[in-house]
Amino acid sequence: MAGLARDGGLLLPESIPNARPLLTAWRDLEYQDLACEIFSLFVDDIDTHILRAIIARSYNTFRHPEITPVVPVDKIHVLELFHGPTLAFKDVALQLLGNLFEYLLEETGRDMNIVAATSGDTGSAAIHGVRGRQRQRIFVMHPRGRVSPVQELQMTSVLDRNVHNLAVDGTFDDCQEIVKALFNDLEFRDRYALGAVNSINWARILAQIVYYFYAAFRVMERTSADKVRFTVPTGNFGDVFAGYLAFRMGLPIDRLVLATNENRILATYFNSGVYRLGKVANTISPSMDIQVASNFERFLYFQANSDTGQVRTWMEQLKRTGVIITPEVKHDCLRAGDTDTATTLRTIKEYWEKYGYLLDPHTAVGVSVGRRLCDDAYPLIALATAHPAKFGEAIRNATGQDLAHHPEIDRLHGAPTRVQQIPADPQAVTAFIRKAVEK
């Protein structure tokens, strides 16, 4: 529940469990049962039957019986992660988090104020995870005018009293910086019982490990391959980091492709060992328009052979100079590449015209880079992180047609909204939270 550790760092388990002996027993499990098995390796303070009930409730809201089905499209396998309430993969973790928090708050009789920064999809998924709940209030900051109109409506059209949308005059990185500032103000943090739902929250990563196992089992069964590859469109390094942990747990992943748009800071790092902050470029895959990848710090822990002092030094260097240079990059299964808008649009068009399958622009980034970096030696699973209807304009630009619809999105147009504009200043945000809580 803590989100950020009290010294400003991120939390990780002390050790990563070895799942190799369990793979055979797990391969035929349904999604929910698999989730329960995987969580049980990391969670020792919630009874299994309670955990099972929390998981069941969390995935009841999904529109597909398999939760995250894997669909073959030509030579690749598309892992559809967008069947939750807000049509993006973030629902997989945030539906669970809302229920986990509720259970833990009921246990202790406490309330919680969640603060979140969003580049678009986290916000609406987090809001739908906690809307209408008694013990949770949520404050979501998005960069004003820099999320898609649909993403904005998915957040601001939720009028529940425990939901507060803040449109920040700044970038996503500014929003994320404010969240960190609020958490590092220990007095404010304790007084207002702050909670985090951004991927700095470990439970989110944990929830995302599950679908790597689930998809690998489906595809190994379908193809008789003994290893698989994944390609993951990346912004904050949360999703791909969950895949990296699945690899460390022993899932036979031959290759894990980290794919970025023009915000290629992570791709550059993996190909040079230099992590250098730059300016954010606005693209058609806005959920990946990020420079400070919050979960990269967790990867650095493994780069540093678990030397937390070294991680601290690197993170301080980043803050001071805007650059981290590690002596070498230990890739393990990770490979990285970037792509540009023209290629992404071309990929969407190609998959629609040749295979009748519509990729959202984030997924298309993953597909385009994954295909470039992988031959056919092992099956390639492409993570589909959003439903194309969330990014209708990009689909129109790519295909020349108005193809991307979903009833959940279409009903948003003209819906009443509530949102507060605010400067990119932690003080302004703390003042807003104080006022809302004390009302």
Ligand X SMILES: *Cc1c(COP(=O)(O)O)cnc(C)c1O
Q: Which residues bind ligand X (CB under 6 A)?
A: 88, 90, 121, 199, 233-240, 287-288, 362, 385-386
The Cα 381–Cα 256 span in angstroms is 10
CA 117, 118, 124 angle in degrees (round to 5)? 115
SS3 201: coil
Nearer of residues 192 and 294 to ligand X, judged by Cβ: 294
Nearer of residues 171 and 287 to ligand X, judged by Cβ: 287
Phi, psi angles (nearest 5°) of residue 232: -130, 115
Nearer of residues 158 and 386 to ligand X, judged by Cβ: 386
Determine the residue type at 329: V
Structure tokens at 116: 């979140």
Shortest gap between Cβ of 342 and ligand X (angstroms)? 19
Shortest gap between Cβ of 120 and ligand X (angstroms)? 6
- Which secondary-structure segment (H or E) carries 381? strand 380-384
Strand runs labelled E in 102-201:
112-117, 136-143, 163-169, 194-196
SS3 298: helix
Shortest gap between Cβ of 204 and ligand X (angstroms)? 9
Shortest gap between Cβ of 150 and ligand X (angstroms)? 12
Question: Which residues fall within 8 angstroms of residue 363, CB to CB, at 6 or more apart?
Answer: 78, 233, 382, 383, 384, 385, 386
Question: Which residues fall within 8 angstroms of residue 317, CB to CB, at 6 or more apart?
Answer: 323, 324
Shortest gap between Cβ of 233 and ligand X (angstroms)? 5
Give me the residue label for tokens 């108005």: 402
Phi, psi angles (nearest 5°) of residue 275: -110, 105
The Cα 53–Cα 135 span in angstroms is 19
For the chain, give the longest Cα–Cα distance: 61
Nearer of residues 120 and 379 to ligand X, judged by Cβ: 120
DSSP 202-247: HHHHHHHHHHHHHHHHHHHHHH--S-EEEEEE-SSSHHHHHHHHHH
Q: Indicate which residue of 90, 180, 349, 390 is catalytic.
A: 90
Nearer of residues 90 and 180 to ligand X, judged by Cβ: 90
Shortest gap between Cβ of 318 and ligand X (angstroms)? 18
SS3 9: coil
Shortest gap between Cβ of 199 and ligand X (angstroms)? 5
90 tagged catalytic = yes
Active site residues: 90
